[in-house]
Structure 1
């Protein structure tokens, strides 16, 4: 109930007054009451409790008053410290030697020291706290004590000053009236305010000017000394074309006394004094020089030469300087020009000698080309002339092998045949090298199936390798490459034959590695290997590392043909070898882009055996010995042979016996320039499409193409009897 009578919002004094009033009233009622002693005692208890609460509240009030007094004391102390700090800050700022001002984040002047703005007496009294930054800049820009640069207005300087105010840090110099200088530093505070420092740098600027003048004097002396040490003559003119500097060398080169050079004299005057002794060379005119000197625009460097006396030459170089003046230098180039004349004369002599030597070399080259062409013609002719009797000898030996009954005689005939085959290989290799060296070898690039080529190679060499006890393996490939069929077959045949020939034991492996857009055709063996110092030699003619090899094993021409053929076909050829471990030759071939795969290469001599009895063959061969040998060979096979020396003789003989032949075998080069292709065409015109075969020592692709167009078989000399019999078997089937 007591709590309900007291308002907590009253002050402690008011609450105590109310409690005392309540206690007094209750005590009075207790004394006046006639109730039972129990009720009086209860009222007494309540009075005691109220008194205790009054005592507690009184203590709380006293504590609160103590705290309030303590807070007031601390506040007073803080205020005193603040005022002291402000005073210290003001004193500190005042002791700063520079002018100091602080603007708040709203660009309002908070405080400044007495040195701030003291150089501008007309606005100094206006620089007080509360001044806005823009107004401060306007006051400075319009002050009579601000010395603006020439051509700059107060408005322009004010705009520049406001623009620099946007930077966090800015430092610039300001010139004041009376030739004094201020350095103004402006820095942004963390709360966005601005601090400005004004430093008097007049003494510093004066010292800097004095130092600059001293340096200029020193520099002038250094430049003067440098000019005097130059080997060139130098004259310096200012923007008004007046002489302001020169060195002694200029007078020496121009042959002018030192007294004629006077400070401040004009260029035209100096030129008139020297005009009698100099002349302008190298196509430059005097008007051009005078126009260059008189020009007020930016001038490009000018160079020309002048002559003095009979043989003295000076190179003159004039260049504009930044202050619109110019400098002219004179260099004595008499010795250099004399050297140039001498060199020119020497060059003319050398050119004449080079021309003479070139003519000699052209004659030598022509002679070498004629000799090379003559060599090629000789090799071709010699090969043809040698192949004719060689073919006859092979045919005679072949017929002897069939007729001889004695085993010893047959063995001798077989050895003679092998010797003839070795000679045939050497002649063929010489003919191939002659063609490749002469540059006359023609190539016919077609799509070639490596599978068919490798199958033929395996059939040819596997029996030979087996006789030597070698493991001969060919990994077949379905790749189709772009190359010349004849040359590619010769390349692979020579590499594989060499591997079989020089491998004593082990194996020979031929395979193909796939690469993007190409393949590597590899021939590996386990032979003796090739030492690194001999690996280049093996591709030269008549080079055989195995000195014990017999002529029947080759004359060292196989790899020479391989290297030349690969170079002609642009097929990269690589050799890797390790002595005692073996050798690997690899040829890089491009994959063919043909739409369809090529047909398999024909295998010479393939075909089933057919009877030749009562079959008539016309043989046209102008060489009597070879014609007789072929006749014996064909007759031994059971054929009826009509040997003739020319097409006319064959035509007349067939007309006389009134019969058509079953096949025609004709030599390509007949007497009186006649050709076997024409003979085949003439006989076919009389007797219909008779199967025909052309025999020749000519291995050109053009002749092969002609035979293909004629639908005639082509056999090369020396004649392979197996290939000849294969043709007849196909023709007579």
Structure 2
């Protein structure tokens, strides 16, 4: 069998290539630990006692193989299948030489393969569960983050409503209702903050499936700016929607709204008493959207890290959760676009991101 190892591997590779997860793997990735595992299996068959079966797995190669196959995109059934393909290839090799695999040799072969399958599947499943939990936690953190901006707008609006009431009405029903509103907004904000503080260990993509459709860009931006008006009024910042009214993009409307919301909220924080411009144009067959402010800008040493998770301003008065721009980057990239930032201290900042045009759109306009 040792002399026929190359022949055995060739047959295994040919048959494993039929698995969907293995079709596009390069040879080293496809092989992974299998050549070493075959040597371990042969050692076990040549040993004089069954105790060597346990030694065949002392190096932990099936465990590492389960992790490697998860990274390679195998599903768990394919992990099992490739070991059974090796079992069949070994049987074919034995029969080809007029031998019969039975008795102690058959027991050792099946035990080694079954143990390898068990270890690889256990490791695969455990890591898959960890990654799923991480995605759920990160998605929850992102959703909670996106609640902060409308909550802030509601709080500012409630405060403005309180200040607009005449002093003589402080005890009437309207004043009581406004105070109840403020109190419950405060409780909700505290709950959101608590959840966010529990979700700071982030690792991977939010994992939300895009719901793509044709989206009219101008009304989407206009509706968002209407909802954020209490914030812009409070910071005395002028926010202008310069998006052409005939622009249509292919996007997930809810996620696209989050992108604009996070960028505008960021600009309002850094450009009080200033101006924020939202615009869009066609560039190289795609829609390029931008959010520009004339605020204090971003220091050069922070510019490369602004899209990193948990990266936030060291100034306590301006620091956020460190998730807003990370959400922007992940969402734009999920749409097949890219996001960039340019900034000069004391001159302002401009964020740009690209989106696909709607199907059949004219790409000649600018």
Q: Normalising by structure 1, what TM-score? A: 0.28
Residue-by-residue CA offset, 1:26-50 (whole Å, 9 max, x unaligned): xxxxxxxxxxxxxxxxxxxxxxxxx
Contact 2:336/2:356, CA 8 A, preserved across alignment: no
Q: Which residues of structure 1 form unaligned runs of 5+?
A: 1-346, 385-393, 596-733
Instruction: Decide which structure has greater helix share.
Output: 2
1:369 matched to 2:98? no
Residue 534 of structure 1, CA deviation: 1.5
Question: 1:522 maps to which residue?
Answer: 290
Residue 432 to residue 511, structure 1, CA distance change in 2 (3 Å): farther
Aligned equivalent of 2:331, options 537, 558, 565: 565
Aligned equivalent of 1:445, options 202, 207, 212: 212
Residue 500 of structure 1, CA deviation: 0.9
Question: 1:542 maps to which residue?
Answer: 310
Flag the structure with more relative contact order, 1 or 2, with Cα contacts below 8 A and sequence separation at least 6.
Answer: 2
Aligned equivalent of 1:359, options 65, 68, 78: 65
State how 1:170-569 maps to structure 2 within 5 Å: 355=61, 358-359=64-65, 361-362=67-68, 366-376=125-135, 405=172, 413-423=180-190, 437=204, 440-477=207-244, 478-549=246-317, 554-569=320-335
Counterpart CA distance in 1 for 2:37 and 2:140 is: 47
Contact 2:337/2:353, CA 8 A, preserved across alignment: yes
SS of the equivalent of 1:538 reads coil
SS of the equivalent of 1:539 reads coil
Residue 542 to residue 434, structure 1, CA distance change in 2 (3 Å): closer
Counterpart CA distance in 2 for 1:372 and 1:547 is: 33
Residue-by-residue CA offset, 1:694-716 (whole Å, 9 max, x unaligned): xxxxxxxxxxxxxxxxxxxxxxx
Residue-by-residue CA offset, 1:656-679 (whole Å, 9 max, x unaligned): xxxxxxxxxxxxxxxxxxxxxxxx
Counterpart CA distance in 2 for 1:489 and 1:588 is: 14
Contact 2:338/2:353, CA 8 A, preserved across alignment: yes
Q: Which residues of structure 2 form unaligned runs of 5+?
A: 1-34, 41-58, 69-119, 144-153, 163-168, 362-366
Residue 428 to residue 437, structure 1, CA distance change in 2 (3 Å): farther
Query: If you compute each CA radius of gyration, which structure gives the higher value, 1 or 2?
Result: 1
Counterpart CA distance in 2 for 1:578 and 1:350 is: 60
Residue 562 of structure 1, CA deviation: 1.1
Counterpart CA distance in 2 for 1:351 and 1:423 is: 60
Contact 1:376/1:434, CA 8 A, preserved across alignment: no
Residue 462 to residue 432, structure 1, CA distance change in 2 (3 Å): farther
SS of the equivalent of 1:522 reads strand
Residue 564 to residue 357, structure 1, CA distance change in 2 (3 Å): same
Counterpart CA distance in 2 for 1:548 and 1:493 is: 21
Counterpart CA distance in 1 for 2:282 and 2:335 is: 19
Contact 1:379/1:431, CA 8 A, preserved across alignment: no
Instruction: Decide which structure has greater strand share.
Output: 1
Residue 437 of structure 1, CA deviation: 3.6
Contact 1:429/1:557, CA 8 A, preserved across alignment: no
Residue 418 to residue 536, structure 1, CA distance change in 2 (3 Å): farther
Q: How many residue pairs were aligned? A: 234
Counterpart CA distance in 1 for 2:277 and 2:130 is: 43
Counterpart CA distance in 2 for 1:439 and 1:464 is: 27
Residue 533 to residue 365, structure 1, CA distance change in 2 (3 Å): farther
Question: 2:354 maps to which residue?
Answer: 588
Residue 486 of structure 1, CA deviation: 1.0
SS of the equivalent of 1:541 reads coil
Residue 585 of structure 1, CA deviation: 0.7
Residue 536 of structure 1, CA deviation: 3.4
Counterpart CA distance in 2 for 1:521 and 1:534 is: 23
Contact 2:134/2:203, CA 8 A, preserved across alignment: no
Residue 573 of structure 1, CA deviation: 0.7
Contact 1:505/1:526, CA 8 A, preserved across alignment: no
Question: 1:578 maps to which residue?
Answer: 344
Residue-by-residue CA offset, 1:385-442 (whole Å, 9 max, x unaligned): xxxxxxxxx9xxx9xx999749997676454334345357658989999999456411
Contact 1:383/1:431, CA 8 A, preserved across alignment: no
Residue 533 of structure 1, CA deviation: 2.5
State how 1:561-640 maps to structure 2 within 5 Å: 561-593=327-359
Residue 584 of structure 1, CA deviation: 0.8
Q: Normalising by structure 2, what TM-score? A: 0.52
What is the Cα-based RMSD across aligned positions, in Å?
4.5
Residue 358 to residue 376, structure 1, CA distance change in 2 (3 Å): closer
Question: 2:7 maps to which residue?
Answer: none
SS of the equivalent of 2:131 reads helix
Counterpart CA distance in 2 for 1:447 and 1:570 is: 15
SS of the equivalent of 2:306 reads helix
